[in-house]
Each structure stands twice: as structure tokens, then as C-alpha cells.
Structure 1
């Protein structure tokens, strides 16, 4: 017979286990777990492959190597750990490295490590988020410059359209991974057709039509040099369509004095549940981040939403786009928005800002 007092005795609560941070340097997924002892990297099978300690000193936050299966720290796992730290402390301007980590040759070659005689070597968040290998996986080197003409416009020859997933980033405030993959007609036609005929989308895009029309439209887009159509996903579930282009060859060029490597983009959010503020704070900075990473020579991003699209224009302003002017296309009056590379990385543009629900608190003075 069981003891009645045992049934009513309050059970001790088990503290929640910390949510692992997900990273994929060079396209290889890893999980980073933080606790009081520091950080642990593990592969998808759960095997630990690296340990780091984190110390708060008078000079700043110092990351040190604590050991692993290998005798020396590995660059890939260390990059994943650094990304996890910046995600946990988003206003940390720089992370100092102990000497074992500062000796990693790839970090120095990529320009990540800055050195001064009076402080330990360090990595700034501004430099770190300009490293394509953290989020692009199979990052392409800059394409050689060779000028050609398209419809009377002189511009650099563009690389071939990529395939598969081109960008992937874990968003800890959503607990989801955002990815961008190149559209595939057979895979995405029905979805694109449904989205274009959604009244909320059709109001701004004005591209309603039947399945055959939309098939032709997508096939032509994929065949057009310099235009890359992308499907945006949260945890691999598609939510929207992004059409990226080189501004020099686009109709926007005369209105913004487009440079050789300026990029532009259009967007539609097809799934209504992803149209709220927490999600726009994820996808809008992420498309900007992807386009800046795709070619290190890109200094400006441009966008031309309809001038009466107040919600989109407001979101652009909150995410660092300067709204320069209204102007007329044959089919619409547009607003020119411009994002500068320097502003995006200097002001940590990938971090949601108020009033987005995903925004982070003001900087903690201990970590600046």
C-alpha cells in the first residue's frame, strides 16, 4: 500500500536544459551547448568534439581552448563556438582569443583577428559576420571582372545561377533556422502559383494567373542571367519568395546610379502565419546579409517597393534601409530604399531592433 504523504510531496523541479545553438561552418552542422563551465561543440550524433572556457576580465571577454579529442583546437568548431557567443551576447563588440586559438592559421588569413600590443588578439563582431563560410556553406570566390553588354547596359559578367541552399542561419530568438534555397520549377511551381493568386500578394505584385503562365514566368526568370530566384524557409518549411538581381542590369539602374556590384531584391511572403513582426525581423536582415556575403565587392543594396506599401517601407527603415526618394516606373510609383554595407555591418544589422519582438536588450556595459 502506498504512502499518502509521498503522493502530495512536491517534486523538485528539474532545471530546463539549455537550448543548443546550431551552426554550420563550411556547411557541416554542429551544436554548441553553453553552461557554467563554458561551451561544448558536438556533432549531430551527440559526440563532443571541442571544449572552450569563457572568462570575463578587465580587458573584455576571453575565449580559451579547454581540450577535446584532438590535441589542438579545430578552426571549424571554434568558428561555431564564436557564433554561439555572439548570438548569446549580441551587443558584444569583440571577443578576445587566448593564444592557442589566435594561432589558428585560417582565422588570421581571413582577416578575422585584429592584434594590438596592449590587449590579447581579438575578433570583432563586425568582421566575424562578414565571413561567408559560416552561413553560405559552399561560398563562391569573387567572379573575375569581365565587362559585357546586356540591352545596351555595360556590366560585369555574372556567375552562373547557383543551386540548392545558398544561405542558412540559426535564429535563437525564434528557435528556428532560416534558409534560402534556389527555386526549382517542378518543386515550387504549385506553391508559387498559390502565393501569386493570394489577394494580399496580388495587390502589390499584380501577377495573378494560371499555372501555365506562372511556369513560363519562372522558367524565364531562371534563364535570365544575373537574376537568382530564392525560396525562403523556416526549418525547411517554405514561407516566401525572394527575387535577387544585379542592379546595374535592372530597370532600377537609372534611378539609383547603380554600381557594378550593387544588388537588389523583391519579396513576397506567401504564408500568412509568417507575415508578423518576429518573422520579418528574421528574413529582412537575412536577405541583406546573404547578398553582402555572396560578393565581397557589393557595397549597396537597393529595393523599390510600391510607394503605398507602408508596412514594407516601415520595415525597411527599421532594418537600416535609407528611404531616399519616390520615383515613377511605367507600372507603379516606387520608393527607393538603400542599405550600405558599412552601415549594415558596423551597426550589427542582423540583430533585430525595437519594436520587433525579437529585439535584444540594451548593451550590458560589462560586455562592451
Structure 2
């Protein structure tokens, strides 16, 4: 397993600037590519048909460049380019911008979606923060259009009508330092029930969730989640191995809404990590930034994420801080005293927080 660099300077990445050689699995538009990078050569190979394209990825001064080098093919496909871009920015996580030297007359869709930007000198570039907002790279399916706004009232609170909840995979991202694909999928109240029940009865989980009980209790719990349009349960998996449960919600109609100035498309979330062998730094640095990434990709109108861990959950509060969440205030729920954490869309993408950063805190901030 790749070792992390934990250095003492505020704002530095929690992993090395680049890893050579790198292997990546990229799935733009659900086309699976294997990508390798060695000696400045990037190879992108489609798993199904074996087609391979070759690129040069190199730094010149402070500029990162991606150059088309495969003269056996006239043009790269859009999805091949997306896979090559993902590998480039994963390899060089400090970079804010990637310059492209590629044939691009056939890539109008990538200009229209903001993946490619052409300046006054006809230089084509990728702005990394825009690229990481391209849902098609990490979402198995994306809505044809944004769900229209229509206001309804639930429990005395006015909020937008929410679109129907998805079924199955909603996000997948290859985690290079684990060599595994992180997947979020909707929980199945039948096939996942035994696993969910076991996790809820784990003493480490029960300390904070306080939802111990038998199968019938947890069957009813999941049925209530399924029936509630403002909340959704997700299973977190590495490849196909479940490791934790995530409960995401629309904040406007949630019990948290009276405690801050809530916006229509704010999202919140809860988490439990049920498998002890998947607790710890290499795993939390994968799933914590990725759940934030997923929630921002799920609706472009979501500008803020909120979370309210119990005030004595020091480990979670430290981990959230390293992943960009600001501690807004302490407050009292009826059932707990909590810390309100908040992450803005602007901060997440501008600071490239899909890779956690070490920050200065009065306490030790080692991820655990």
C-alpha cells in the first residue's frame, strides 16, 4: 500500500505530488479504461475492445502538458481524452490547469460542457476545478436535465420537490493508493439488512448512532428511510465489498434546518464505518472527500454541505476539518450536543479537496 506524506506545513497535500508509475481505472460515460503512466508516457486502453491510445504527459517549467502522441489513430475519442485527463490530474494533484496539445476539431461537446477551454491564442486547456465537476466521469448515470423547481410543504417547511431517488450505483472513483474502486450504491433493504444490523450492533458504531436492535427494528428503520423523499441510504463499497453506510439528506426539510440559514439545495450526511479493517487513514482519505464530491455532482445547485457530529466525536471532527469542513458552531439538538460543520462548493473545488490536506489545528490532526 502506498505510504502517505504527513508533513507539517499548513495546506499541504496528504499524499505525494505524483506517483510513478501510476495505474488508474477511469470510467467516463461508463466506458472502462485502464491507464498507466511511466517515463512521461500515458497509455489509455479500453477494456472491452483493447484499443489503446498513447499520450505524453510532462511538466515544462510549472506548466503540465498533455500531448497526443498516437499516430496510429487519427483522433482521440472524447472518452479516451477524459480518461487521459483524469489520470493527468490524479498524477499531479497540485496542478490547477492542464495544457493540451491534441487534435480537437471533433470535440465540440467537451468545449460546450466546459471540459476544454480555448483562450484568445487558441491554446486549449483544462481547468482542474471544472473537470472535477464533470459528473459523467464518476457518475454511472446522470439526469438528462436538472429537475425543475416546484415548491411543496413538508412538516410545515417549504422546500423544492425532490426528484425520485435512484437505484443502484450512484458514484464510483478509482482510489490509486488503495488499488480499488470506491463505490456508493443505494442500500437494498433486503439483501443488505443482515450487514446493516451487524454494523448497528457494533459497539464502536453504537456509541454514536445508538440504534442497536434486532433485524425487525432495522428492517423498519430502512423502510422508513426508503419512504422518506428527503433522505437516502447508501452503501459504501471498495470494489464489491461493503464497508460502511452513508445517510444523505436534503437539509431544507430536515431537523437541522432551524439551526442555520439553510438554502434550498443544501445537503447533509451521516456515516458509519462498519468493517473494522477498513477504518483508518488510507480509507477515510478515500471515502470522506468522495462523499462530498458525490453530493456536489448530484445537483449543480448544491452550494453547501452540512454535517452535525456529536461534539465529543473528536476523531470525526478532525477528519472533517482536514477535508475542508469549517466548524461553524456548537449547538444543541434534542438528542445530542453537536458541532455544525459546513463545506462550500467553491472551497471544495477551488482548493481541490478531493485529496485531503493537512491543516493547522490546536490538537493532533493525524487522520485515523
How high is the TM-score relative to the length of structure 2? 0.88
Aligned ranges for residues 312-327 of structure 1 at < 5 Å?
Answer: 312-327=316-331
Could you tell me which residue of structure 1 aligns to residue 271 of structure 2?
267
Could you tell me which residue of structure 1 aligns to residue 299 of structure 2?
295
CA contact (8 A) 1:301 1:340 kept: yes
- Please, what is the CA RMSD of the aligned residues? 1.9
1:26 has 2:17 as partner: no
- Alpha-carbon offset, residue 226 of structure 1: 2.1
Q: Take 1:103 and 1:61, find their aligned partners in 2: how far apart are those partners?
A: 23
CA contact (8 A) 2:57 2:88 kept: no
Q: Take 2:111 and 2:324, find their aligned partners in 1: how far apart are those partners?
A: 30
Could you tell me which residue of structure 1 aligns to residue 138 of structure 2?
135
Deviations 1:323-358 (A, max 9, x none): 011111111111100000000000000013236689
Aligned ranges for residues 37-76 of structure 1 at < 5 Å?
Answer: 38-45=41-48, 47-58=50-61, 60-67=63-70, 70-76=73-79
Q: Secondary structure at the match of 2:230?
A: coil
CA contact (8 A) 2:22 2:38 kept: no
Q: Take 1:173 and 1:55, find their aligned partners in 2: how far apart are those partners?
A: 21
When residues 69 and 237 of structure 1 are mapped into structure 2, their CA distance, relative to the original with a 3 A threshold, is farther
CA contact (8 A) 2:65 2:101 kept: yes
Could you tell me which residue of structure 1 aligns to residue 101 of structure 2?
98
- Alpha-carbon offset, residue 97 of structure 1: 1.2
Unaligned runs of 5+ in 1: 1-16, 359-368
1:206 has 2:216 as partner: no
Q: Take 2:71 and 2:151, find their aligned partners in 1: how far apart are those partners?
A: 49
Q: Secondary structure at the match of 2:69?
A: strand
CA contact (8 A) 1:147 1:154 kept: yes
Bigger mean CA offset, 89-98 vs 108-117: 108-117
CA contact (8 A) 2:98 2:127 kept: yes
Q: 2:88 aligns with which of 61, 85, 89?
A: 85
Could you tell me which residue of structure 1 aligns to residue 314 of structure 2?
310
- Alpha-carbon offset, residue 236 of structure 1: 1.6
Q: Take 2:104 and 2:357, find their aligned partners in 1: how far apart are those partners?
A: 32
Q: Take 1:59 and 1:238, find their aligned partners in 2: how far apart are those partners?
A: 41
Q: Take 2:253 and 2:175, find their aligned partners in 1: how far apart are those partners?
A: 33
Aligned positions, number: 342
Q: Secondary structure at the match of 2:229?
A: coil
CA contact (8 A) 1:102 1:113 kept: no
When residues 357 and 229 of structure 1 are mapped into structure 2, their CA distance, relative to the original with a 3 A threshold, is closer
**Structure 1 segments of 4+ aligned residues over 4 angstroms from their partners:** 355-358
Q: Secondary structure at the match of 2:263?
A: coil
1:332 has 2:336 as partner: yes
CA contact (8 A) 2:236 2:246 kept: yes
Q: Take 2:203 and 2:62, find their aligned partners in 1: how far apart are those partners?
A: 56
Could you tell me which residue of structure 2 aligns to residue 4 of structure 1?
none
Q: 1:227 aligns with which of 223, 226, 231?
A: 231
Q: Take 2:191 and 2:304, find their aligned partners in 1: how far apart are those partners?
A: 32
Q: Secondary structure at the match of 1:166?
A: strand
Bigger mean CA offset, 276-285 vs 34-43: 34-43
Q: Take 2:73 and 2:160, find their aligned partners in 1: how far apart are those partners?
A: 45
- Alpha-carbon offset, residue 121 of structure 1: 1.6
Q: Take 2:342 and 2:177, find their aligned partners in 1: how far apart are those partners?
A: 26
Unaligned runs of 5+ in 2: 1-19, 359-364
When residues 22 and 99 of structure 1 are mapped into structure 2, their CA distance, relative to the original with a 3 A threshold, is closer
Bigger mean CA offset, 56-65 vs 283-292: 56-65
- Alpha-carbon offset, residue 85 of structure 1: 0.8
Q: 2:250 aligns with which of 246, 252, 259?
A: 246
Q: Secondary structure at the match of 2:163?
A: coil
Q: Take 1:21 and 1:283, find their aligned partners in 2: how far apart are those partners?
A: 17
Q: Secondary structure at the match of 2:330?
A: strand
